[in-house]
Amino acid sequence: MVEPGSQAGPAPSATVVSDASPSSGGLKRAAIGLGSFAGTHREKPSGGRKVTNGTAPRAFLSHSSADKDKFVLGFARKLWENGIEAWVDRWEMLPGDSLAEKVYEEGLGGADAVVAIVSKNSIDSPWVKDELNTAKVRQITGRCMLIPVILGDVDEDQLPVVLGSTIWERIGDPNDYDLPLRRVVDAIYNRRDRPGLGRPPAYVESPIEAVPGLDKKDSIVLKIIGDLAIEEGDSLLLLNSRPIFARVGDLGLGEEQAKESLEILEEEHLVSLSKVHEGDGLSMHGAMLTGSGFDRYLGTYFDGYDSLVRSVGGELINNAQEQQDADEVADRLGTSVAVVRHVVRRFKERGFVYAVGVNEGNIIVTETRPRLRRWLEETVW
């Protein structure tokens, strides 16, 4: 609904015929109704809202005089009420004015938009056709908008050829056209009636750093799994998918997006997925980090991970005379049990230590090998 502005005053009673042919002579067009202009002034509505820069847009209404009283004047007043200076010959022209100068220089030439009222009365008007041709040239050269308004039951194939590539608005009832009016007003102000732009999903604005080689969504899923593994105390635990999906959802990622990321992480050998038969297909039951997956997680998200690896190695060497429980090493260092267990597993894979219970969680280092000391001495951090 368009909100009304100031009320329009009465229009002058004289009529300037808008559909006389230019070739038939401008004097004839201007002479009709001339006597009633004597002693009058240009009486037109006062403006309503203004555009933000303080300059009201101007719209030239190209129309047939047969539509003036029953539609055009009322439509023009509503444009004025919405802050648009609608140019109508009855309000702008007085005896003695130059027809060509007023219509083409002031009206069309000064218009930001030309609103073409296409009706059964105007489609065969030579004068309207000439105005439309002028407006089309101005539209093509970027000097004004051309907005066709179809009045009544004019068929599309009856539209002037010059309007064939222009989007139009139809007004079926000349006494009820709030919605079409609003769209015309929006067009003149170049306002698109689109939804307001909301905030992006939380994962887009999340400060979580992307893991090298992964996009942000996949990195977020990997981080969530790594966080859960540290909370549970071991990276080799199979994590139920429900907590993973819940945390992913808190960051604006849907369950299907999370499943897609888990599939990609499995393809990259960073996680191992557990799936169960459910209904007609497989359902994702849980996920577990691989050794390289936990490495990528720790290298990106665990502050001081490289330094912690050296500290674990130092603890094992300093207490090499006795068997050592990985969990007790974590306790002495005041750090995560899951991370220390992972480091000890990596040491065993490289032949730095002998250990038992590696896959059961409770890891006991039975012997520390000389290669661990050599590696710590040679490695530059």
Q: How far apart are CA 326 and CA 62, in angstroms?
A: 88
Map residue 151 onto helix, strand or coil. Answer: strand
pLDDT tens by residue, 103-119: 999 999 999 999 999 99
Q: How far apart are CA 258 and CA 224, in angstroms?
A: 11
CATH architecture of 303-378: Orthogonal Bundle (1.10)
pLDDT for the residue 46? 59
DSSP per residue over 34-95, as a string? GGGGTT-----PPP----TTS---EEEEE--GGGIIIIIHHHHHHHHHTT-EEE-HHHH--T
Q: Matching CATH topology for 22-188 and 202-295?
A: no
Phi, psi dihedrals of residue 98, rounded to the nearest 5°: -80, 120
pLDDT for the residue 121? 94
Query: Which of 1.10.1670.40, 3.90.950.10, 1.10.10.10, 3.40.228.10 would CATH assign to domain 202-295?
Result: 1.10.10.10
- Which contiguous run of DSSP H or E holds residue 13? none
pLDDT for the residue 261? 94
pLDDT tens by residue, 291-331: 999 999 999 999 999 999 999 999 999 998 899 999 999 99
Q: Are 355 and 344 in contact (CB under 8 A)?
A: yes
Query: What pTM, to 2 d.p., does this model score?
Result: 0.55
- The one-digit pLDDT tens for each residue of the chain (381 residues) are 323 333 333 333 333 334 433 433 333 333 333 233 333 445 566 554 444 445 899 999 999 999 999 999 999 999 999 999 999 999 999 999 998 899 999 999 999 999 999 999 999 899 899 999 999 999 999 999 999 999 999 988 888 888 888 899 999 999 999 999 999 999 999 998 788 888 877 777 777 888 989 999 999 999 999 999 999 999 999 999 999 999 999 988 899 999 999 999 999 999 999 988 776 667 888 999 999 999 999 999 999 999 999 999 999 999 988 999 999 999 999 999 999 999 999 999 999 999 998 777 789 999 999 999 999 988 754
pLDDT for the residue 228? 95
Phi, psi dihedrals of residue 112, rounded to the nearest 5°: -85, -25
Domain coordinates of the chain in residue numbers?
Answer: 22-188, 202-295, 303-378
Cα→Cα distances 287→12, 110, 225, 247, 298, Å: 81, 69, 8, 14, 17
CATH architecture of 22-188: 3-Layer(aba) Sandwich (3.40)
Write out the two tokens for 83. Answer: 């802050």
